Amino acid sequence: MRFQSINRLRDFEFHDSMWSLADCDSASFAFDVTALNLHQDAPQNPESCDMEIENACVFFVEFRLAVYEPGVAWTTDASGKSCPTEPRKTYTGDEAIALFQLEAKHGIWVYALEQTDTGEWVLSGCGEEPYFEVRFSFDQVVIEWDAFRRPAWYVLRSRGIEA
């Protein structure tokens, strides 16, 4: 691969990226990712705006899944407070890993990937499940790619161009 980023997830914009499971074992996950955007100030970006990567490979080494939580419907009560219409389910251990692998095999449309105050990462997205969140950690993440496709969709939109 021509470009490589190691342990710099904050250099990327994951919203609306599509992740497909490429490989996994007990200690790592590898994804083929499309519609991943690299911020303009990232060391590997030669352009003056955020750029969409044509196709990336994302490798998580020593991946540890803490929680898998499928979404539930929400409602708003008379006071304006939102609450789930049914109890939220939280899966851990082997069951959480199996559910996440199912999502990854189906393909995950990522809404967000954010780091918590505790250092864990939370991925929210949809796949087989209409909405889910996973909380995880890892020892290393490597993102590799060969080419850029175009300016990021939100850059094009700000210029009046439909992506």
Per-residue pLDDT tens listing for the chain (163 residues): 799 999 999 999 999 999 999 998 878 999 999 999 999 999 999 999 999 999 999 999 999 999 999 998 888 988 999 988 888 899 999 999 999 999 999 999 999 999 999 999 999 999 999 999 999 999 999 999 999 999 999 999 888 887 6
Contact predicate 34/55, CB 8 Å: yes
Evaluate if pTM is beyond 0.85: yes
Contact predicate 134/112, CB 8 Å: no
Contact predicate 116/36, CB 8 Å: no
